[in-house]
């Protein structure tokens, strides 16, 4: 996973600690491990949790060597991602149609991600409708329409320039119901998580699709730019509060130099799983998040 490369470079300090680990200097070395994890974007809270668990196991005599600690570190991170995040699968149940609300800040790759999701579902035989709820950004609907064409799915757009985003998404869900669609992908305006008025508009979009279909949205997914480091934690926290709970995260731009440690921090703090990762610009470049593969990319086994 190339996108973890920036974190992995910083974690070189951790590998050095493992190489020269001694029980005599355990306290100092564990403090250095905490510092290295914090510098690798795991954040203080998550770093302390991981190292406290390792420290306890050292005291109990379970961990004695560098390789022991290395294995324990990976196990601790996997445990956080599994226990705090939970199921990485989409939980759409038997909803007809299933409504997926996609949110995120500008520039995070939200529209591209919707296109990839549409192609993924359509490729599996589902009838997909896109709802062009981003009425705020110029040419957003045109961009989404191009993705709809590439994925060979339908799209519902605003009738005029003054149409409200919540009304467009209501219309999209209603159309999906009457046309027998399986899935509705609802785009929303990208917004800074610090803009209260725009965030309230987003909450209104969620309420609107809930009026159009019972139990909707069935998934509320936050698109996060994997290159933003710990700033993604602040974003995720505000979106989670505004929307009354996210159901999952889609991590984009893992084809660059993403800061993988921050992913663990977000999952740990919010208890929300990463469900997909974007690894490129192609329609097929969206993959289900694999916890074991992700952690192995952070700490690859020495050849």
pLDDT tens digits along 76-122 = 999 999 999 989 999 898 899 999 999 998 888 898 999 999 999 99
| Location of each CATH 1.20.120.140 domain in the chain | 2-85
Residues near 7 by Cβ (< 8 Å), separated by ≥ 6? 40, 41, 258, 259, 260, 261, 298
Residue 303: predicted pLDDT: 43
Residue 302 has pLDDT above 90, yes or no: no
Q: Is the dihedral of CA 122, 128, 134, 137 positive or negative?
A: positive
Least confident of 7-21, 47-61, 74-88, 202-216: 7-21
CA 6 from chain centre, in angstroms, equals 18
User: What does the alpha-carbon distance between residue 45 and residue 55 come to, in Å, rounded to a whole number?
Assistant: 15
| Location of each CATH 3.40.50.300 domain in the chain | 98-298
Q: For residue range 27-41, what is the model confidence (pLDDT) as tens digits?
A: 999 999 999 999 888
What angle is formed at CA 147 by the lines to CA 281 and CA 202, rounded to 5 degrees?
Answer: 95
CATH number of 98-298: 3.40.50.300
CATH architecture of structural domain 2-85: Up-down Bundle (1.20)
Give the bridge partners for 219, in sequence order: 100
Q: For residue range 155-178, what is the model confidence (pLDDT) as tens digits?
A: 999 988 788 999 999 999 999 999
Buried b (16+ CB within 10 A) or exposed e, 73-94: bbebbbebbeebbeebebebee
**Mean per-residue pLDDT for 245-268?**
82
pTM: 0.90
User: Taking a C-beta distance cutoff of 8 angstroms, is the pair 274, 113 a contact?
Assistant: no
């Amino acid at each position: 996973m190339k996108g973890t490369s920036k974190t992995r470079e910083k974690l070189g300090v951790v590998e050095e600690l493992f190489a020269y680990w001694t029980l005599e200097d355990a306290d100092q070395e564990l403090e250095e491990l905490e510092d290295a994890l914090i510098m690798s974007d795991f954040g203080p809270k998550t770093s302390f949790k991981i190292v406290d668990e390792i420290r306890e196991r050292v005291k109990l005599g379970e961990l004695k060597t560098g390789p022991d600690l290395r294995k324990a570190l990976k196990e601790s991170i996997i445990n956080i991602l599994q226990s705090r995040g939970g199921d990485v699968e989409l939980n759409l149940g038997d909803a007809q149609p299933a409504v997926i609300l996609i949110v995120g800040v500008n520039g995070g790759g939200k529209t591209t991600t919707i296109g990839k999701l549409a192609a993924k579902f359509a490729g599996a035989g589902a009838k997909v409708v896109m709802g062009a709820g981003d009425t705020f950004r110029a040419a957003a609907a045109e961009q989404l329409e191009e993705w709809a064409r590439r994925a060979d799915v339908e799209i519902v757009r605003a009738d005029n320039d003054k149409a409200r985003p919540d009304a467009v998404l209501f219309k999209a869900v209603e159309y999906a119901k009457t046309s027998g669609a399986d899935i509705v992908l609802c785009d929303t305006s990208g917004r800074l998580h610090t803009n209260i008025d725009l965030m309230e508009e987003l909450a209104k979009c969620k309420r609107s699709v809930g009026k159009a279909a019972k139990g909707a949205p069935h998934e509320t997914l936050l698109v996060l730019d994997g290159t933003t480091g710990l700033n993604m934690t602040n974003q995720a926290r505000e979106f989670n509060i505004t929307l009354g709970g996210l159901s999952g995260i889609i991590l984009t731009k893992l084809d660059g130099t993403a800061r993988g440690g921050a992913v663990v921090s977000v999952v740990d703090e919010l208890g929300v799983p990463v469900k997909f990762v974007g690894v490129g610009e192609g329609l097929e470049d969206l993959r289900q998040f694999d916890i074991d593969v992700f952690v192995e990319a952070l700490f690859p086994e020495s050849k």
